[in-house]
Amino acid sequence: MRGILAATMNSTINLVTGLQVRKEIFGLLFYDGKKSELYFIGSGDLLSSEFFEGGRILQELLLDLPEERKKHILKLLGLLKRKGLIYEQSVD
């Protein structure tokens, strides 16, 4: 799983400063208040906006999910990280 998102499972996933997210029918809508930009992520029901509230370790968030769903979530998180919408914070 590390190949999809270069995170250790002991990381928290956080929104960058100034970014807001909300759940929409298609998936997630991210709004960057600094740049006045919108990002539409067609994630369906894969993630909720609460996923990004911070403080929860990635391993805990993925616990008890089927392997295929975990892979899809990690792939999506990798995309969000490459777009500069999220960052990882190690809790080691």
**pLDDT (tens digit per residue) in 2-44:** 444 555 778 888 999 999 999 999 999 999 988 889 999 999 9
CA-based R_g, the chain, Å: 13
- Residue 73 and residue 75: Cα distance in Å, rounded? 5
- Helix residue ranges, H only, 2-92: 58-62, 67-82
- Residue 68 and residue 19: Cα distance in Å, rounded? 28
**pLDDT (tens digit per residue) in 59-83:** 888 888 999 999 999 999 999 999 9
Instruction: Mention the CATH class of domain 11-90.
Output: alpha beta
CB-CB neighbours of 44 under 10 Å:
11
- Residue 27 and residue 74: Cα distance in Å, rounded? 15
For the record, the structure tokens of 68 come out as 């295929």
